[in-house]
Amino acid sequence: MKPHFGKIISELRSSIGQKFIYTDNEKLEAYNFDGTDLRYWPDIVVEPENRGQVSQLMKIATKYRIPVIPRGAGTGVTGGALPVKGGIVLSLLRMNKILSIDEINMTAFVEPGVINLDLHHAVSEKGLYYPPDPASYDTSTIGGNIAEDAGGPHCFKYGTTRDYILGLEIVLSDGTIMNTGVQTRKGVVGYDLTNLIVGSEGTLAIVTKAILRLIPLPARTITLLAFFSDIQTLAGDACFQNDALDVLLAESSEKRENLWAVRRKFRDLIKERSQFKFSEDVTVPIRQIPQLIEGARKIAAKHEFQNYNYGHLGDGNVHVNFTHHHKDETIVRRSESVVRELFELTVKLGGTISGEHGIGITKMNFLEIELSKKSIELQKKIKQVFDPLNILNPFKIFPPE
């Protein structure tokens, strides 16, 4: 433990409560990873159960200028929840209450540690529906989904997490608790701080409560599996009746679940077949998907990697996977050129380097491929306004100067 931490720990214990503060190895290890293969150890773990404790934590962190890294389930795949230079990991998993579900207003008030799937079950019992459904929906939290603006298969039709957040309760870096947004479907008072926090990867504020927009539960769900001869046909004006080689209909909820279970396994199946795998969630206008896939194949061939693509084609969001049967320093270095070339192609096609996984630490060196200098400068100023001491999830999104 760093020498000056003794004082910080005793202050945390006396103001937040002994049982919410951890420094033992077992606990620190449980928070040193996320959905990447990277490992960074925190110095302290805090697991609060209410916003007052989060606020106290930030006041102490401000006093000692110590980094605080908000964390949900740790399924993020760009390193957003990793304590890259140590500090305090703030786990929001204990704040996991669904506070209310209002059938008339069609809203839910939830704490950030609620698991996405638990929310789905709770609202569907009342005939309501919360569409955002990342493939990690049985583990990832609403707080993490908000911080990453997570999407999933249903987002093609219904939109991403952002489209279902009406308002937030947040704790700022100095410990101030404040509300953003509205409880209503409409609201245009002042700047849209809610939308600024959504997708900000825990770098601007800590979400301690969310007001979610719900919609009526769809009366019927039809799930089809269609086969096309090539991606060009699919990305064009594909007509199931005329262009699909075959179409399978999931005739029961069990069969539907089986289809989706196969889809959710893609990631692991690709990983199992190689020593080294990396993937990017680039997104292009749907008409450009064939060019993106063709380009990805060429990049893979040029650098001697294998390439597998799947994703949310209706959103233009392709999970471009590259694998190698071997992993060493040269291959890892070569993978950086692969990623850079893929991102350059994506932006050239009018796309974005991240459709849903965020920038975190794994993509920050590529930020300038998509954003202008002016845009990065402006965004850094926004970060400074929210977090002048740079203690809230620092060293994320923007590359070090």
Please report how close the Cβ of residue 6 comes to ligand FAD at its closest, in angstroms: 26
Give buried/exposed letters for 51-72 (b at 16+ CB in 10 A, else e). Answer: bebbbbbbbbbbeeebbbbbbb
- Residue 270 sits in the site that holds ligand FAD (CB under 6 A): no
**What strands, in cross-sheet order, belong to the sheet with 88-91?**
21-22, 44-46, 88-91, 68-71
- Residue 67 sits in the site that holds ligand FAD (CB under 6 A): no
Site for ligand FAD in 190-219 (CB under 6 A): 201-202, 206-207
- Residue 244 sits in the site that holds ligand FAD (CB under 6 A): no
Interacting span for ligand FAD (CB under 6 A) from 70-78, 214-222, 242-250, 292-300: 70-78
Please report how close the Cβ of residue 386 comes to ligand FAD at its closest, in angstroms: 12
Which of helix, strand or coil describes residue 217? coil
Strands 306-312 and 317-324: antiparallel
Distance, CA of 190 to CA of 182 (rounded, Å): 11
Among candidates 38, 60, 255, 79, which has minimal Cα distance to 175? 60
Please report how close the Cβ of residue 216 comes to ligand FAD at its closest, in angstroms: 24
- Residue 141 sits in the site that holds ligand FAD (CB under 6 A): yes
Query: DSSP string spanning 283-347?
Result: B--GGGHHHHHHHHHHHHHHTT-EEEEEEEGGGTEEEEEEEES---HHHHHHHHHHHHHHHHHHH
Q: Looking at 83, 86, 144, 351, which residue binds ligand FAD (CB under 6 A)?
A: 144
59 neighbors 107 (Cβ within 8 angstroms): no
- Residue 361 sits in the site that holds ligand FAD (CB under 6 A): no
Please report how close the Cβ of residue 310 comes to ligand FAD at its closest, in angstroms: 11
Q: Looking at 67, 87, 112, 167, which residue binds ligand FAD (CB under 6 A)?
A: 112
| Between 81 and 244, CB nearer to ligand FAD | 81
Distance, CA of 283 to CA of 350 (rounded, Å): 9
- Residue 295 sits in the site that holds ligand FAD (CB under 6 A): no
- Residue 42 sits in the site that holds ligand FAD (CB under 6 A): no
Q: Looking at 42, 83, 86, 152, which residue binds ligand FAD (CB under 6 A)?
A: 152
398 neighbors 379 (Cβ within 8 angstroms): yes
Among candidates 50, 62, 11, which has minimal Cα distance to 172? 62
Distance, CA of 199 to CA of 192 (rounded, Å): 13
- Residue 280 sits in the site that holds ligand FAD (CB under 6 A): no
- Residue 76 sits in the site that holds ligand FAD (CB under 6 A): yes
Where do contacts with ligand FAD occur on this chain (CB under 6 A)?
Answer: 34-35, 69-77, 80-81, 92, 112, 134-136, 140-141, 143-145, 147-148, 150-152, 201-202, 206-207, 267, 356-357, 393
